Structure 1
Amino acid sequence: MQKKVIQVCKVNPYGELLFNKAMSPQKTKDLLANSPPYVVAMEGCASFHYWARVAQSLGHEVRGMAPKKVKPYISNQKTDANDAIGIAIASTQLGMTFCQVKDLSQQNI
């Protein structure tokens, strides 16, 4: 089943939150396509590799993290909006390890 909503949190290079909103998959693709290359941070999930390949194909740097590595950076209640902020914070931490993005043939194995 395809996701109907993707929570997108955009932070500028100075760490200021520009927006944190739910978007349709098509609007997310449009945002990626119409933005200059930047860091796209995601928590590893069922659709991580698909979205990582989309972002990479548009020139973005992808940082994928295991959910257990992101959890300490999520404050308050678990919501998509809070998770997105936690992912953004975690992606900037020194020593954070990131997942390798698999291409389609690797993922099929």
Structure 2
Amino acid sequence: MEITMIGLDLAKSVFQLHAVDAKGAVVWRKKVRRAALLDTLSKVPSCLVGMEACATAHHWAREISALGHEVRLMPPAYVKA
């Protein structure tokens, strides 16, 4: 299965990743510590990464974009738990 989209929930120390394929089927879900986030995403082929726009989202968007992913920030009203 090829990952086409990753949902990223930003937090203080542990981030949640939710990866899906083109059909919307879950490929994997992971808990990742802050220090390991970029290493984890660097091992994933380029895809769309969606995250809630918050105070630190722009920093992470720049870092993740540098890895070759397309990042989209969403207003908090569009984000579902």
Establish whether TM, by shorter chain, passes 0.5.
yes
Report whether the alignment pairs 1:55 with 2:64.
Answer: yes
Which aligned segments of 4 or more residues in structure 1 are displaced greater than 6 angstroms? Answer: none
How do 1:1-109 residues align onto structure 2 when only pairs under 5 Å count?
3-70=12-79, 74=80, 83=81
Paired residue type of 1:58? L
Q: How many aligned residue pairs are there?
A: 71
Cα RMSD after superposing both structures: 1.5
CA shift for structure 1 position 50: 1.0
Report the Cα distance in structure 1 between the residues aligned to 2:47 and 2:72, rounded to whole angstroms: 11
Report SS of the residue matched to 1:29.
helix
Cα displacement string for residues 21-73 of structure 1 (whole angstroms, at most 9, x for unaligned residues): 32101222112111111000001112100110011101100011000122xxx
TM-score between the two structures when normalised by the length of structure 2: 0.77
Mapped partners of 1:26, 1:39: distance in 2: 21
> Percent identical across equivalent pairs?
38
Q: Secondary structure at the match of 1:27?
A: helix
**Richer in helix (by share):** 1
Structure-1-length-normalised TM-score: 0.59
Aligned counterparts of 1:57 and 1:13: Cα–Cα separation in 2? 23
**What residue ranges of structure 2 are gaps of 5+ in the alignment?**
1-10
Task: Report the secondary structure of 1:51's partner residue.
Answer: helix
Give the structure with the larger strand fraction. Answer: 2
One-letter code aligned to 2:23 = Y
> Which structure is larger by alpha-carbon Rg, 1 or 2?
1
